[in-house]
Homo-oligomer: A and B are copies of this chain.
Amino acid sequence: MDEALLIVAHGSRRTASNDEVRALTARVRETAGGRFAAVECAFLELAEPSIPAGLEALIARGARRIRVMPYFLAAGRHVAEDIPAEVDAVRAAHPDIPITISPYLGRSAQMAGLLLDMAATHDTAPAAV
């Protein structure tokens, strides 16, 4: 396995919210094609796997490099400090595995267009079946 992607979400007490992240991860896996050898998710808190557990599982499966993608809208303490700290602990244990952290979701240059697309969603009547 070459490069793996770990999508990191905050985690919620609501199982449904965590399952939304898992379903999104499955869609990313399907969409990725050959871009990533594996696509998994992990949670900063309140849900499993943790970030270290998610990274270790990818390494155990043979990942040679890992990209961490923070599924966060704002650059708060979680993005600026907590996620890097969790990643650093795994880096120290696996100095031969490069682990890079992508910009968090809210930084996407495509976000404005995506919001406008979402705002238009109600313009169409529900599909007749």
A89 proximal to B (CB < 8 A): no
B76:A12 contact, CB within 8 angstroms: yes
Q: Please indicate the chain B residues that have their CB under 8 angstroms from the CB of A14 in the complex.
A: 74, 76
Q: Counting chain B CB atoms within 10 Å of each CB, which of A16, A17, A112 scores highest?
A: A112
Q: Please indicate the chain B residues that have their CB under 8 angstroms from the CB of A5 in the complex.
A: 119
A114:B108 contact, CB within 8 angstroms: yes
Interface size on A, residues (CB 8 A): 46
Q: Counting chain B CB atoms within 10 Å of each CB, which of A28, A35, A75 scores highest?
A: A28
| A103 to B28 alpha-carbon distance, docked (Å) | 20
B74:A116 contact, CB within 8 angstroms: no
Q: Which of B12, B67, B74 contacts A122 (CB 8 A)?
A: B67
| A48 to B87 alpha-carbon distance, docked (Å) | 34
The residue on B at minimum CB distance from A30 is B112
